[in-house]
Structure 1
Amino acid sequence: MERENIRKEALNGNINAFQALFAEFQSQLKSYLYRLVTDRNDVDDLTHDTFIRAFDKITTFNEASSLKTWVFKIATNLAYDHLRQLKRWPVDAQDQGAALAIGNKEVSGSFRVVHQTFNAAAYDMKEHIDFCFTCISKTLPIENQVALILKDIYDFSLKEIMLILDKSEGVIKHLLKDSRDTMTSIFDHRCALVNKNGVCDQCSQLNGIFNPKQNQQEARMKLELVKQSKKFNREELYELRTQLVKAIDPLRSSGADLQDIIMRCTRTAVGDVDDFFAAPASKANV
């Protein structure tokens, strides 16, 4: 009954009641926005703007969906406006980021500083696989990226995604199939973690840098993705990746600060950021 009263108060324009409801899914909203825009400062700005816009428009909420879905629609539209100003990432974005780090001692040195001094700077291969999933998803058109992440990472239903993207069920199904096919194909050709012909083994290489005393092969074999790589087809391996990614909050994980600065390096390499050192990463978790 108390929650129902809070809901009624929120719908009647009580900002404290609305804040209480917003807080129930705020962490998930932030992690969703981070996977789209890959910048903590932008996430904070978009989350703030989403809250303000949703509260201003609360009288238009007709309860055709849950409040969470309605708020995610507002956040997605704001993220769209931001992402339209940027180019889609190339498939080799991580390679470009690695080349920048290798070729610039100050950039690679900043990784070590973060790893040694920040609170959330442990290196875990699972978290870098999550990082990789985000990078690969950014090669998709915005609508595809949104549909994929909402469905496969945050478990939104088709109906909810239809409301968020304002598309028919057929269109959403097409977006999801096309996105999964693209992601699966890219992983199949790039990921050396599960495919000897893959060109990228960045997760294992970074493990050797940041966990030098840990046996790399032992670290690899702890991953279910690696254990099953010889048994499953590439579609099933994609499913394993999504299960791994679901379990990680990129803003609150044990290595969130380290992965964020690696992400900033990648964003600089592909042109999303003009100067790697212009806005240094924050020491505090979001």
Structure 2
Amino acid sequence: MEREEILENALNGDINAFQTLFAGFQHQLKSYLYRLLTDRNDVDDLTHDTFIRAFDKISSFRQDSSLRTWVFKIATNLAYDHLKKLKRWPADAQDQGAALAIGSGKIAETFRIVHQTSNAGAYDMMEHIDFCFTCISKTLPIENQVALILKDMYDFQVKEICLILDKTEGIVKHLLHDSRDTMTEIFDNRCALVNKNGICDQCSQLNGIFNPKQDQQEQRMKLELVKASKKFDRAALFNLRTILVKGIDPLHSSGTDLQDIIMRCTRTSIGDVSDFFEPSLRKAD
């Protein structure tokens, strides 16, 4: 069956046809929502809610954009409603997370258990950069974060982002420029991979904890980001980071479970999660 026929069936209320189309970008949608929400349970809930709301409103889809763009707009609105109840992350959120883990034997032990027992519990320097990118993007206003991630991570065109955010092209371009400047500035002050004064716990401490026999300098020098740090300016280094991060799926990678548990610790430290040891994690006590 041709895609046009499947879309026509979906527009006529065929939920199986709509599911077929939705499945074509569901994986990417969940990855996008994780970068916004940083919680896998919330991602699952909002993905389900997006599917239900999009199918309920499918008759209003006028095909003035791709179905993917239209569905991402619905998902973005749901994510915005969720995120506006929370505070923006401070630039030192990772430091607060590290302090919480260091001060709690239970949390540190949970990290070790996930690392030792999970098939997705590896520590990888490239995934660490993805983790940092997500944390730093959380310091941005929601619209800035959405524009940046859609454009730089998922290759949405500016005109598509205009539809998703209901903003003019000029405003979207301003959001992108401002977001990149802010991200670049924070990375410049934090990144221990390219700056001797960097304070990032992910690369300055965790690599040594989870990979005690690994030659850290050797691993770092494998990264183009590190090789280029002495040659390129800050903006170029930010572009290298986006290229690297685009190649990583935060929900399906060798270190997904470890990065997620570290993310939960970070969220707990800044008050986004009231209790690190909620029921889904207490089995690791």
TM-score class, shorter-chain normalisation, is: over 0.9
| 2:119 alignment counterpart | 119
Where 1:231 maps in the other structure, the secondary structure is coil
| CA displacement at 1:32 relative to structure 2 | 0.3
Q: Distance in 1 between matches of 2:225 and 2:219?
A: 12
Q: Distance in 1 between matches of 2:156 and 2:281?
A: 31
| 1:65 alignment counterpart | 65
The answer to whether the Cα contact below 8 Å between 1:193 and 1:201 also exists between their aligned partners in 2 is no
The answer to whether the Cα contact below 8 Å between 2:95 and 2:201 also exists between their aligned partners in 1 is no
The answer to whether the Cα contact below 8 Å between 1:94 and 1:135 also exists between their aligned partners in 2 is yes
| CA displacement at 1:184 relative to structure 2 | 0.3
The answer to whether the Cα contact below 8 Å between 2:7 and 2:18 also exists between their aligned partners in 1 is yes
Q: Distance in 2 between matches of 1:279 and 1:125?
A: 30
The answer to whether the Cα contact below 8 Å between 1:125 and 1:204 also exists between their aligned partners in 2 is no
Taking structure 1 as reference, are residues 34 and 275 closer, same or farther at Cα in structure 2, changes over 3 Å only?
Answer: same
Where 1:116 maps in the other structure, the secondary structure is helix
1:1-286 equivalent positions in 2, closer than 5 A: 2-281=2-281
- Runs (4 or more) in structure 1 with deviation over 4 Å come to none
Q: Distance in 1 between matches of 2:276 and 2:66?
A: 40
The answer to whether the Cα contact below 8 Å between 1:123 and 1:207 also exists between their aligned partners in 2 is yes
Q: Distance in 1 between matches of 2:163 and 2:279?
A: 36
TM-score for the superposition, normalised by structure 2: 0.97
| CA displacement at 1:13 relative to structure 2 | 0.9
| CA displacement at 1:221 relative to structure 2 | 0.5
The answer to whether the Cα contact below 8 Å between 2:192 and 2:203 also exists between their aligned partners in 1 is no
Taking structure 1 as reference, are residues 29 and 7 closer, same or farther at Cα in structure 2, changes over 3 Å only?
Answer: same
Count residues in correspondence: 283
Percent identity between matched residues is 79
Where 1:266 maps in the other structure, the secondary structure is helix
The answer to whether the Cα contact below 8 Å between 1:69 and 1:160 also exists between their aligned partners in 2 is yes
Where 1:196 maps in the other structure, the secondary structure is coil
Q: Distance in 2 between matches of 1:108 and 1:131?
A: 18
Greater Cα shift, 65-74 or 183-192: 183-192
| CA displacement at 1:140 relative to structure 2 | 0.3
Where 2:280 maps in the other structure, the secondary structure is coil
| CA displacement at 1:188 relative to structure 2 | 0.6
| CA displacement at 1:8 relative to structure 2 | 1.2
Q: Distance in 2 between matches of 1:43 and 1:276?
A: 18
Q: Distance in 2 between matches of 1:244 and 1:266?
A: 22
Quote the RMSD (CA, aligned, Å). 1.3
| CA displacement at 1:195 relative to structure 2 | 1.1
Q: Which runs of 5+ in 2 are unaligned?
A: none
Where 1:25 maps in the other structure, the secondary structure is helix
| CA displacement at 1:194 relative to structure 2 | 0.3
Letter in 2 for 1:274: S
Letter in 1 for 2:207: N
Q: Deviations over 1:201-226 (max 9, x none)?
A: 52242111111111010111111110
Q: Distance in 2 between matches of 1:264 and 1:163?
A: 32
| CA displacement at 1:197 relative to structure 2 | 2.3
The answer to whether the Cα contact below 8 Å between 1:191 and 1:201 also exists between their aligned partners in 2 is no
Where 1:280 maps in the other structure, the secondary structure is helix
Q: Distance in 1 between matches of 2:119 and 2:265?
A: 20
Q: Distance in 1 between matches of 2:145 and 2:120?
A: 27
| CA displacement at 1:61 relative to structure 2 | 0.1
TM-score for the superposition, normalised by structure 1: 0.97
Q: Distance in 1 between matches of 2:279 and 2:186?
A: 31
Q: Which runs of 5+ in 1 are unaligned?
A: none
| CA displacement at 1:91 relative to structure 2 | 0.3
| CA displacement at 1:282 relative to structure 2 | 11
